[in-house]
């Protein structure tokens, strides 16, 4: 199991990313992973895989569990878009051109922004 990101470190990374035009890679990685961690805590399960390459992926939402191969419900976006979505800076509807969502349960707009 991956190490949990401390709340203070996660929040500091989010603030650094939101404040910088070009954030440090370490800040971006920590912010993405922390926000994925919060999403996983908020919606535990294995029905939808949320991918933010190259920094992380989590499986969330209760329901049928996915165990092998490509999951049937996948959400993928870039790191900056994920931070903006997960913090409420932009709504899902405004980022739809930057989100790849496939599967009947891939709309996770009701789970974001995550509480932080």
Residue 40 falls inside a structural domain: yes
Separation between Cα atoms, residue 72 and residue 31, nearest integer Å = 26
Residue 61 falls inside a structural domain: yes
CATH of the domain at 25: 3.30.1050.40
Helices (H), 1-116: 7-19, 25-42, 79-87
Residues in contact with 45: Cβ distance below 8 Å, sequence separation at least 6, in sequence order = 59, 60, 61, 62, 63, 65
Question: By residue range, what is the domain housing residue 68?
Answer: 7-111
Our count of domains for the chain comes to 1
Q: pLDDT for 14-52, tens place per residue?
A: 999 999 999 999 999 999 999 999 999 999 998 999 999
Residue 35: the pLDDT is 97
Q: pLDDT for 66-115, tens place per residue?
A: 566 667 899 999 999 999 999 999 999 999 899 999 998 899 999 999 96
pTM: 0.91
**Is-contact 52 100, C-beta < 8 A?**
no
């Amino acid at each position: 199991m991956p190490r949990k990101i401390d709340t203070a470190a996660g929040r500091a990374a989010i603030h650094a990313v939101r404040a910088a035009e070009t954030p440090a890679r370490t800040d971006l990685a920590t912010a993405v992973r922390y926000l994925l961690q919060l999403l996983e805590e908020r919606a535990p399960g294995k029905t939808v895989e949320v991918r933010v390459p190259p920094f992380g992926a989590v499986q969330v939402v209760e329901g049928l569990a996915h165990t092998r191969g490509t999951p049937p419900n996948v959400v993928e976006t870039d790191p900056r878009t994920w931070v903006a979505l997960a913090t409420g800076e932009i709504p899902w509807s405004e980022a739809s051109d930057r989100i790849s969502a496939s599967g009947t349960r891939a709309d996770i707009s009701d789970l974001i922004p995550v509480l932080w």
